[in-house]
Amino acid sequence: MRWFKPFGIVFLPVSIPGWIVTALAAAFCLHIFWFFNGHSHSVSDLLYEVFPYWVPTFLLWAWVAGQTCPDRARRDS
């Protein structure tokens, strides 16, 4: 099933499961931002605090998108 389609260096969701995965990842990142923004003293503090959460979330999202993209077979060969 096609969940995402490639769009430059990122992926666009094209089905309900793709949108759900994207919304969950965005909601998690937004929650982490709000949590740490409440007690950060500066922008650099905030970036240091959200980085360990945002990067793995984005990498997992990109991996799922790459695995469910129809052009994957063409890219792997």
The 10s digit of each residue's pLDDT in 28-49 is 999 999 988 888 889 888 888 8
- Average pLDDT in the 46-69 region? 92
CA-angle at 11, arms to 34 and 1, nearest 5°: 115
Question: What was the pLDDT predicted at 53?
Answer: 92
CA-nearest of 56, 57, 65, 59 to 7 is 65
Residue 72: pLDDT band (50, 70, 90) is low
What percent of the chain is predicted at pLDDT more than 70? 91
Per the structure block, which two tokens stand in for 52? 């360990």
